[in-house]
């Protein structure tokens, strides 16, 4: 009896452990038929040919998806594809089709296949559009091989989604919109264009690994930037690059009043947003720690007519230091004060004007970035550098001499300083407060 | 009697023709007193010292201006200045003080004096702010000499205003807001800042020439860009650089219907703006001429939900050619059609996506720029490049093959093409249509 059981076990194991399932990899496509897949939305044809899964462009039918019946959350997916001229396609991951969302239209992360330019980027199908576009990444754009088999590798682990095309990193994104869902192969709508009908996208060697992923994960990507869409969090890559959260997204830990007041009624935390409540009298807040050389990134959004500011090099002089001005230039009277625009958004307040108004988005989140390397300082907004200055020398002394800070002894000097957020009695919101110390 | 008259004439001439008035130059400051000048607005002190005109920073008084009693329209103005630490100043030209504008506050073009960074730029005092900022012009920023005498030269001729500081061009602007007005020397408000009180700005050798300017005008500036604020006009420099107007700002000369319709009811010209009237059925318009390699710059503004486009390489295929898409991405349904954003604002319509939405200003004028050099094409918006592509080769053929234009024979090919503005039944406005042919 014992022997029979053992034999049965061995037989069963051998059935499960065919060559494709060694090391925990599983074939999603068996090379013979479409078992395990379901067609959704359009009527484009999917067929099997010579061990290849073939999607066929079809006129007058919407985007068609061949979706896995199973849902996958964390995985490494590898596949090869070869695409005819003029065909747009993509590999959906963690995607969905729900009756109450656009009548079941497939939506979610799509690892792009498109001979035009952007293969390997991530497009949010039928929802928010480009999440990881390749517009500014020519090296990633060149990863795609025209007319040949291309190898795509996708690593989805928790909030991290990374894509490689032919070994070249093409996307590195952190996002939590979808943590699981089906995988799907797209054949894009071609409308009534007869000349595109019949053109194909071919897939083969579609395999997935869902367990023991640690042993196969690729090292951190360095050649392309990472986009982190989860507010108030640090990705592993950000941590490795030395970033730290200046705000935990939940409460005011790490911050204190700069004047000993009870500031927590004025500064509230909700839904991952830190809000200065108007006319609360709560006063400015500062980080408990001081910072020397650093890169600071903060999202901000202002209510109509609002005034606030991100100050740095705050030390012995109360709330006085350098300030990245946050101001509704169009509606706050301070915009026309000071000298020639040096109290406008993005300026070094009352010291040096900067054209923040050219790049700010009203009624939306904006990203302020301040970089300090020794005495060299930069102000950025939404990816555009708007100011650089040297915080030393005769020029700096002259700037301070004519500013509001002329009487301040050793203005913004000394050994590093705190970061301060200004309560100017107006509603301003902050999130995603991140800092990276440099030259450590 | 004749002899007496002659002698009198000679004496009078000699009085007039002192050394400073040779060649038509006149001293605005006589080196002895403030005759010919009037103090306006603030109470800062102006005095004469060692042949220098000295402005003295004074607490608790607004900006103070020493203005010429005369008004000047066209002139060359030269002066020297030396400025203490922390002092902001400037030379107003073509400026005004009117009881019905901010209670007589001096306003208008100010050729900046500011040790901070931007000396030699043009600031529109008490009106619109920076007209010719030096934010992106480090060479111009370096023209100022700290703690020394600086020489400023201003050439104002018609709409052209140009500034040099110590021989370095620092501003080149075309503007018609003010064609004449007084000249004034500023001492900036210092508020209650006692430490700035008494600091000075010193001027000397302030001389002006108002006649026979042609003989002294400087050659065209090349080292810094020109800003032309007069819509639908070409400056001399633009003409010299090869720019031509694609629209005269007044009527539809140079344009024709692309389908033989009477288009003028749908396309109206008023106040220097060309407007597509909604649902007029007027149809697309094209330039009478064809263009090969070119740089095209067009200001556009769209009404809510609008669709239009700037097409180029228009030839044998009706209204079909390459299109710089103009679309209200947030409200027009076409934004989500096509492939992955390739029908959004700034895209090469239905062919290649571009992130125009990141830089467009809703409810405001935007500048589209298209550059064609052989088969290399670029799309820009508001000074930012958002797309470049090669209109040739296998990649291009593939792009067309999967686009709406797959059936079009020799799409956007051939020997140059017309420029077309699209009537998509929505209100869109255009102005400042300028083209420069390249490689002529």
For residue A123 the two structure tokens come to 């497009």
Say yes or no to pLDDT of B73 above 90. Answer: yes
**CB contacts, 8 Å: B118 with chain A:** 340, 353
Residues on chain B touching A193 (C-beta within 8 angstroms): 404, 406-407
Q: What is the pLDDT of residue A359?
A: 85
Percentage of chain A modeled with pLDDT above 70: 95
Q: How far is CA A294 from the centre of its chain?
A: 21
Phi, psi for residue B21 in degrees, rounded to 5 = -105, 10
Residue B15 binned pLDDT confidence (cut-offs 50, 70, 90): very low
- With 50 as the cut, is the pLDDT of residue A397 above it? yes
Angstrom distances, CA of residue A30 to CA of A51, A52, A384, B325? 8, 9, 49, 44
Confidence (pLDDT) at B12: 46
Mean of pLDDT over chain A: 92
pLDDT of residue B2: 55
Residue A204 · residue A79 · CB < 8 Å = yes
Q: Could you tell me if B232 and B247 are in contact, meaning their C-beta atoms sit under 8 angstroms apart? A: yes
CB contacts of A402 in chain B (<8 Å) are 85-88, 115-116, 190, 196, 199
Provide the shortest C-alpha distance from residue A393 to chain B (in Å): 12
**Distance in angstroms (rounded) separating the CA atoms of residues A25 and B377:** 45
- Displacement of CA B74 from its chain's centroid (Å): 18
Nearest to B407 among A135, A188, A195 (CB): A195
Chain B CB contacts of A343 below 8 Å: none
Give burial (CB, 10 Å; 0-12/13-18/19+) of B261: middle
pLDDT number for residue B140: 95
For residue B358, give the nearest of A440, A360, A423, A226 by alpha carbon. Answer: A360
Q: What is the mean pLDDT of residues A396-407?
A: 84
B398:A133 CB<8 A: no
- B402–A355 CB contact, under 8 Å: no
Residues of A in contact with B193 (CB under 8 A): 404, 406-407
Secondary structure class of A194 (helix, strand, coil): helix
Instruction: Check B341 against A114: CB less than 8 A apart.
Output: no
Q: Mind telling me how many Å the CA of A196 is from chain B's nearest CA?
A: 6
**pLDDT reported for residue A328:** 93
Q: Encode chain B in three state secondary structure.
A: CHHHHHHHHHHHHHHHCCHHHHHHEEECCCCCCCCCEEEEECCCEEEEECCEEEEECCCCCCCEEEEECCCECCEEEEEEEEECCCCCEEEEEEEECCCCCHHHCCEEEEEEECCCCCCCCEEEECCCEEEECCCCCHHHHCCCCCCCCEEEEEEEECCEEEEEECCEEEEEEECCCCCCEEEEEEECCCCCCHHHCCCEEEEEEEEEECCCHHHCCCCCCCCCCCEECCCCCCCHHHHHCCEEECCCCCCCCCEEECCCCCCCCCEEEECCEEEECCCCCCCCEEECCCECCEEEEEEEEECCCCEEEEEEEECCCCCCCEEEEEECCCCCHHHHCCCCCCCCCCCECCCECCCHHHCCCCCCCEEEEEEEECCEEEEEECCEEEEEEECCHHHHHHHHHCCCCCCCCCCCCCCCEEEEECCCCCCEEEEEEEEEECCC
Chain B residues near residue A118 by CB distance under 8 angstroms: 340, 353
User: Which residue carries 């052989």 as its tokens?
Assistant: B374
Q: Is the dihedral of CA A186, A192, A193, A198 positive or negative?
A: positive
Residues 6+ apart with CB under 8 A from B338: B349, B350
* Angle at CA of residue A425, ends A419 and A431, nearest 5°: 45
CA B379 to mean position of chain CA atoms = 21
- Residue B171's pLDDT is what? 98
Going from the C-alpha of B202 to that of each of B96, B143, B193, the distances in angstroms are 23, 18, 20
Let me know: does B136 contact A386? Beta carbons within 8 Å: no
Please give the pLDDT value at position A87.
87
Instruction: Say what the pLDDT of residue A97 is.
Output: 98
Give the position of tokens 């503004």: B301
The CB-side HSE value for B180 (13 A sphere, CA atoms) comes to 7
- Degrees to nearest 5, angle at CA A297 with A294 and A303: 140
CA A366 to chain centre: 14
Contact B402 A85 (CB under 8 A): yes
B245 falls in which pLDDT band (50, 70, 90)?
A: very high
| Chains A–B, number of C-beta pairs less than 8 Å apart | 133
Q: What is the ipTM score, two decimals?
A: 0.74
What local confidence, expressed as pLDDT, does residue B18 receive? 46
Q: Determine the Cα–Cα distance for residues A67 and A95; give it in Å rounded to an integer.
A: 9
Q: Are residues A437 and A255 in contact, defined by beta-carbon separation less than 8 angstroms? A: no
Residues in contact with A13: Cβ distance below 8 Å, sequence separation at least 6, in sequence order: none
Looking at residue A302, its pLDDT comes to 94
Average pLDDT over residues B377-382: 94
- Give residue B9's pLDDT band: very low, low, confident or very high (50, 70, 90): very low
- The rounded mean pLDDT for chain B is 92
Closest partner residue to A402 (CB to CB) among B85, B340, B355 is B85
Query: What pLDDT, in 10s, does the model give residues B275-307?
Result: 999 999 999 999 999 999 999 999 999 999 999
Those residues whose C-beta lies under 8 Å from the C-beta of residue B88, and which sit 6 or more positions away, are A339, A340, A402, B113, B114, B116, B186, B188
Pick the more confident residue, B420 or A396: B420
- B-proximal residues of A, 62-121, CB under 8 Å: 85-88, 112, 114-118
Using CB atoms and an 8 Å cut-off, which of residues 334-363 of chain A contact chain B?
336, 339-342, 351-355
Alpha helices in A180-253 (DSSP H): 236-240
Residue matched to tokens 């300030």: A323
| Predicted local distance difference test score (pLDDT) of residue A3 | 56
pLDDT at residue A190 above 80?
Answer: yes
> What's the pLDDT tens digit per position in B326-352?
999 989 998 888 888 899 999 999 999
Mean pLDDT of A341-356: 94
List, as ranges, residues 377-436 from B with C-beta within 8 Å of A. Answer: 386-387, 389, 394-395, 397-404, 406-407
From chain A, pick out residues whose CB is under 8 angstroms from the CB of B58: none
pTM given for the model: 0.81
- CA–CA distance, A193 with A202 (Å, rounded to integer): 20
Residue B128 predicted with pLDDT over 70: yes
- The pLDDT tens digits of the residues spanning A47-69 come to 999 999 999 999 999 999 999 99
Higher local confidence (pLDDT), A56 or B136: A56
- The percentage of chain A sitting over the pLDDT mark of 90, rounded to a whole number, equals 76
Residue B285 — φ and ψ, nearest 5°?
-120, 150
* Out of B193, B340, B402, closest to residue A118 by CB: B340
Alpha-carbon dihedral angle through residues B397, B402, B403, B406, given to the nearest 10 degrees: 60
Nearest CB among A123, A135, A406 relative to B355 is that of A135
Mean pLDDT, rounded, for A32-39: 97
Hey, are the CB atoms on B115 and A398 less than 8 Å from each other?
yes
Of A146, A342, A406, the CB nearest to B86: A406
| Residue A204 CB burial class (10 angstroms; 0-12, 13-18, ≥19) | middle
Q: How far apart, in whole angstroms, are the C-alpha atoms of residue B18 and residue B32?
A: 15
Residue B168: name the closest of B241, B218, B108, B115 by CA. B218
Residue A116: its chain B contacts at CB < 8 A?
339, 342, 351-352, 395, 398-399, 402
CA-to-CA separations, B3 to B9, B12, B16, in angstroms, rounded? 10, 14, 20
Identify the pLDDT of residue A401.
81
pLDDT at A2 over 60: no
Confidence of residue B192 (pLDDT cuts 50, 70, 90): confident
- A123-127, A171-175, B9-13: which range is least confident on average? B9-13
Q: How far is B284 from chain A (nearest CA, A)?
A: 24
- DSSP, collapsed to helix, strand or coil, labels residue A14 as helix
Confidence at residue B16, expressed as pLDDT on a 0 to 100 scale: 43
Q: What pLDDT is attached to residue A416?
A: 86
For residue A380, give the 3-state DSSP assignment.
strand
* B80 in Cβ contact with B150 (< 8 Å): yes
Paired tokens of A63: 């985007």
pLDDT at A324 over 50: yes
Distance from CA of A189 to the nearest CA of B (A): 9
Q: Which pLDDT value is given to residue A317?
A: 84
Q: Calculate Rg over the CA atoms of chain A.
A: 27
Position B314 confidence tier, pLDDT thresholds 50, 70, 90 = very high
Tell me how far apart the alpha carbons of residues B290 and B414 are, in angstroms, rounded to a whole number: 11
Strand, helix or coil for residue A363: coil
Closest chain A residue to B146, measured at CA: A395
The better pLDDT of the pair B363, A38 is held by: A38
Q: Which residue in B194, B199, B398 is closest to A86 by CB distance?
A: B398
Q: What angle do CA B288, B293, B298 make, to 5 degrees?
A: 65
CB contact under 8 Å between A354 and B135, yes or no, is yes
Q: How many Cβ atoms are within 10 Å of B71's Cβ, its own excluded? A: 13
Instruction: Give the pLDDT of residue A14.
Output: 42
Identify the band that residue B13 occupies on the pLDDT scale cut at 50, 70 and 90. very low
Q: Check whether A248 has a pLDDT greater than 60.
A: yes
In sequence order, the β-bridge partners of residue B78 are B153, B207
Q: Is the pLDDT of residue B142 over 60?
A: yes
The pLDDT, as a whole number, for residue A18 is 46
The minimum CA-CA distance between A87 and chain B, rounded to whole Å, is: 6
CB contact under 8 A, A116 and B341: no
Helix or strand holding residue A11 (H, E): helix A2-16
pLDDT higher than 50, residue B19: no
| Average pLDDT over every residue of A347-353 | 95
């Amino acid at each position: 009896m014992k022997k029979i059981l053992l034999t049965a076990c061995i037989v069963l194991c051998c059935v499960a452990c065919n060559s494709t399932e060694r090391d925990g990899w599983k074939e999603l496509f068996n090379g013979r038929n479409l078992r395990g897949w379901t067609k959704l939305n359009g009527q484009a044809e999917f067929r099997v040919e010579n061990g290849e899964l073939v999607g066929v462009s079809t006129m007058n039918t919407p985007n068609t998806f061949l979706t896995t019946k199973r849902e996958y959350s964390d995985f490494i997916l590898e596949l090869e594809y070869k695409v005819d001229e003029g065909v747009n396609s993509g590999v959906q991951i963690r995607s969905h089709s729900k009756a109450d969302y656009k009548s079941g239209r497939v939506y979610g992360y799509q690892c792009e296949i498109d001979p035009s330019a952007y293969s390997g980027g991530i497009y949010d199908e039928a929802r928010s559009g480009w999440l990881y576009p390749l517009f500014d990444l020519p090296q990633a754009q060149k990863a795609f091989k025209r007319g040949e088999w291309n190898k795509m590798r996708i690593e989805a682990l928790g909030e991290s989604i990374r894509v490689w095309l032919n070994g070249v990193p093409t996307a590195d994104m952190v996002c939590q919109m979808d943590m699981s869902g089906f995988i799907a192969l797209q054949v894009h709508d071609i409308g009534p264009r007869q000349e595109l009908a019949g053109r194909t996208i071919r897939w083969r060697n579609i395999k997935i690994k869902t367990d023991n992923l640690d042993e196969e994960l690729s090292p951190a990507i360095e050649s392309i930037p990472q986009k982190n869409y989860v507010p108030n969090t640090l990705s592993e890559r950000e941590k490795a690059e030395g970033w730290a959260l200046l705000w935990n997204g939940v409460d005011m830990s790490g911050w204190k009043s700069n004047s000993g007041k009870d500031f927590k009624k004025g500064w509230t935390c909700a839904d991952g947003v830190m809000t200065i409540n108007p006319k609360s009298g709560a006063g400015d807040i500062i980080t408990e720690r001081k910072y020397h050389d650093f890169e600071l990134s903060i999202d901000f959004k202002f209510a109509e007519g609002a005034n606030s500011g991100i100050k740095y090099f705050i030390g012995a002089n109360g709330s006085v230091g350098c300030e990245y001005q946050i101001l509704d230039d169009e509606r706050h009277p301070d915009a026309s004060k000071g000298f020639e625009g040096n109290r406008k958004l993005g300026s070094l307040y009352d010291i040096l004007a900067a054209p923040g108004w050219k790049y700010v988005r009203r009624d939306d989140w904006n990203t302020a970035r301040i970089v300090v390397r020794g005495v060299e300082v930069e102000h950025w907004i939404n990816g555009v550098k708007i100011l650089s200055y040297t915080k030393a020398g005769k020029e700096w002394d002259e700037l301070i001499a004519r500013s509001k800070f002329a009487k301040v002894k050793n203005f913004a000097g000394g050994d590093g300083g705190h970061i301060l957020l200004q309560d100017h009695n107006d509603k301003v919101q902050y999130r995603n407060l991140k800092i990276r110390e440099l030259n450590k």
